[in-house]
Amino acid sequence: MTSTTTTGPGGRPDTHEEPGAPSDDVGPGSGTGDRFDRDDLPTAPGATRALLFSLLRAHRARVLVAALLLLVQQAAVQAGPLLVAYAIDRGVPAFRDADHGPLIAVAVGYALCSAAAGGMQYAFIAVSARINQDVLLDLRGRIFRHAQALSVDFHERYTSGRLISRSTTDVESLRELLSEGLQELITVILSFLSISLMLLWLDPGLGAAAVLSFVPLYLLVRLYQRRAGVLYAARSTAIAAVIVKFAESMNGIRPVQAFRRERVNDAHFEKLNHAHRWANGSATLEMARYVVGSRLVANTAVAGIVLWGAYRVASGTLALGVLAAAVLYLRRLYDPIDRLGMFLNSYQSAAASLGKIAGLLAQTPSVPETADPKELPALPGEHPGREVVFDSVRFAYRTGGEVLPRFDLTIPAGRTVAVVGSTGAGKSTLAKLLARFYDPSEGRVLLDGTDLRDLAVPELRRGVVMVTQEAFLFSGTVAENIAIGRPDATREEIEQAARAIGAHEFIAGLPEGYDTDVRKRGGRISAGQRQLVAFARALLANPSVLILDEATSSLDIPGERAVQRAMDTVLHGRTAVVIAHRLSTVEIADRVLVMEHGRIVEDGTPSELIGGTGRFAGLHRAWRESLT
Ligand SMILES: Nc1ncnc2c1ncn2[C@@H]1O[C@H](COP(=O)(O)OP(=O)(O)OP(=O)(O)O)[C@@H](O)[C@H]1O
Ligand SMILES: [Mg+2]
């Protein structure tokens, strides 16, 4: 009845090139989110179906029970017209002969069938609702786990708004399919089958005529499916674009208001909103065309069959009861066609959505965890530091030119290296390669001689910790935020870390001290304070390699000084990479690297470089002059 084509033409659910489909390229002035919708993730042919089956497989037994319940329910429902035919052709004549038995039997049978149908329906809804909820639970969990496991470069391309759309609207359309659509489909198929058989059995001629009328209906269904598939994929893309724009504008509400972007944003949002409405409207119209077309076919068929049947009753070749039953069956036969439309509707919508989810789930981390992890050598004695080597590393972002052309660097265990250089020189890129947010395009990054790619991810995360400018805080208390560095840390250890970094005073001054919720009123803390919390977190983690990328940039001079004093103890014995624009931060380093265009252009101790004539000396002189 329904084809199993799950995606649009060509096996791709993404139909941006389709004529008439709204483009999600919303033109100039659009935010960064829009670029990505144009190259939505590809889905392998059959991936959508495979996903649906893998979701249902875990509930095989219950799916079977649900199908059996529906089968019995259908049998009970379809017995009705047969009983009517029996009543007319047998019961009534017998009644005239004062034999009440057959009519009473029909009445009792009818009541029993109705009761059975109702009971089965109830049981079916109860069973299928549980399947649905479990499937959706499973799917949302899968999306979250999978998205979280994907590498940073994926998230730079695929916005959080689109992820939200996948786990809300797209999951919702699967819910509609499961809770309404599938029942419709099974009911429709069962009733088509059972009614056709009944009709053929009652009267082969009438039955054959009814079965023949399925041919144009089938063609209609195929046509609808093909056209609606395109429209629903476009609709899913359109709603994702709306959500992306919404999320982006609200996330960036400060710059939006600071730069008076509201009107531009309004116009842009309106455009996306309209595109979504347009997509919705076209899908509905397509559905309407299908419903009208199918009714036309159905009514023509019923009229033809009834005329022919009446002629045969008049000429005495057909019993009146049989014609009555046939008419009742025919009505039931074509009734579900509208419902089939509903099913196709939710099916197309869910197929488009599932296609997008399948595309997401098919993504593999670009920084995969090794199947055969190597152990790092045990640390000798007191020294927590490890040697870091960049061995002929080349690196380019997926969406840009080469950032590191060929990079070699050795940092002996326990040393502190400062990296300075102009904006865009590649300092943060260096840090991210060392923390393995990305893998080099060529060459290796080694930690105590072991390629980062050969380390188990937990060991790497323990070994290398990066503190950045953003200093992200999770919802929860200040203490919890620090404890992320080491979840089993005691309150004393948390406080110790905070004291070491000079964060204890401000934390103690918060309304509830360490138990202040950072997302609640009173817990709003400044950018510099956030950095201090992030610092304490990194300290508590006690890594072998600590990377500080502009980690003190939001602190005032006294705050930075306090952190610097703390760093003398904190960094002791540890390997550290300190990236900073403020040259005061650099003085604690054993060695300073000056980076330009992804290359090291100067390398030496702070005093060597300050005493020399290179870039760093110039920068340092300018900096000293600015202080006086
Ligand atoms: N996620 C990314 N995708 C594509 N290109 C990127 C990405 N991040 C950085 N780049 C590019 O890589 C180059 C180096 O960036 P990087 O962030 O390493 O510079 P930086 O030295 O840390 O600069 P800053 O001092 O401003 O922090 C820049 O030209 C930048 O445009
Ligand atoms: Mg940077």
Q: pLDDT tens digits, residue range 344-364?
A: 778 888 888 898 899 999 998
Q: What is the pLDDT of residue 290?
A: 87
Of all protein residues, the one whose alpha carbon is nearest to atom 19 of ligand 1 is: 424
> Which atom, in ligand 1's list, is nearest to the CA of 422?
25
What is the whole-number distance in angstroms between the Cα of residue 18 and the centre of ligand 1?
Answer: 36
CA distance 191 to 382: 78
Q: Please choose from 403, 434, 549 the residue to mutate so as to test ligand 1's pocket, defined by most ligand atoms within 8 A of CB.
A: 403
Is 399 touching ligand 1 by the criterion CB < 6 Å? yes
What is the whole-number distance in angstroms between the Cα of residue 552 and the centre of ligand 1?
Answer: 19
Ligand that lies nearest to the alpha carbon of residue 155, given by its number in the listed order: 1
Q: For the chain, what's the residue count?
A: 628
Q: What is the pLDDT of residue 18?
A: 31
Q: What is the pLDDT of residue 453?
A: 93
CA distance 497 to 538: 9
CA distance 207 to 197: 8
Whether 419 shows a pLDDT value over 70: the answer reads yes
Q: What is the pLDDT of residue 32?
A: 36
Give the strand pairing for 388-396 and 442-447: antiparallel
Ligand that lies nearest to the alpha carbon of residue 581, given by its number in the listed order: 1
Q: What is the pLDDT of residue 520?
A: 73
Is 426 touching ligand 1 by the criterion CB < 6 Å? yes
Q: What is the pLDDT of residue 101?
A: 83
Looking at per-residue pLDDT, the higher value among 259 and 3 belongs to 259
Q: What is the pLDDT of residue 5?
A: 35
At 336, the amino acid letter reads P
Q: Please choose from 152, 393, 427 the residue to mutate so as to test ligand 1's pocket, defined by most ligand atoms within 8 A of CB.
A: 427
CB atoms within 10 A of CB 453: 17
Which H/E stretch holds residue 384? none
Of all protein residues, the one whose alpha carbon is nearest to atom 2 of ligand 1 is: 397
At 262, the amino acid letter reads E
CB atoms within 10 A of CB 36: 19
Whether 89 shows a pLDDT value over 90: the answer reads no
Of all protein residues, the one whose alpha carbon is nearest to atom 12 of ligand 1 is: 403
Longest dimension (CA), the chain: 126
Torsion of CA 415, 416, 422, 426, to 10 degrees: 60
Q: Which of 29, 33, 41 is nearest to 160 (CA)?
A: 33
Mean pLDDT of 212-229: 86
User: Which residues, other chains included, contact 20 with Cβ-Cβ below 8 Å and sequence gap of 6+?
Assistant: 282
What is the whole-number distance in angstroms between the Cα of residue 426 and the centre of ligand 1?
Answer: 6
pTM, rounded to two decimals: 0.75
Confidence of residue 381 (pLDDT cuts 50, 70, 90): low
pLDDT over 90, % of the chain: 25
Q: Which stretches within 390-544 are classed as H helix?
A: 427-434, 457-463, 478-483, 491-501, 504-508, 527-541
Q: Which stretches within 252-335 are classed as H helix?
A: 253-258, 262-314, 320-334
Q: What is the pLDDT of residue 387?
A: 92
Tell me how many degrees the CA angle 186-188-193 measures, rounded to the nearest 5: 95
Of all protein residues, the one whose alpha carbon is nearest to atom 14 of ligand 1 is: 426
Q: What is the pLDDT of residue 275?
A: 93
Q: How far is CA 82 from CA 206, 210, 290, in A?
A: 15, 17, 31
Q: DSSP string covering 180-192, please?
A: IIHHHHHHHHHHH
Which H/E stretch holds residue 215? helix 214-251
The phi and psi torsions of 443 (rounded to 5 degrees) equal 80, -175
Side-chain-facing half-sphere of 385: CA atoms under 13 Å: 20
What is the whole-number distance in angstroms between the Cα of residue 594 and the centre of ligand 2?
Answer: 14
What is the whole-number distance in angstroms between the Cα of residue 82 and the centre of ligand 2?
Answer: 79
Looking at per-residue pLDDT, the higher value among 319 and 524 belongs to 319
Is 424 touching ligand 1 by the criterion CB < 6 Å? yes
CA distance 461 to 437: 11
What is the whole-number distance in angstroms between the Cα of residue 97 and the centre of ligand 1?
Answer: 98
Whether 39 shows a pLDDT value over 60: the answer reads no
* Cβ contact 400:573 at 8 Å: no
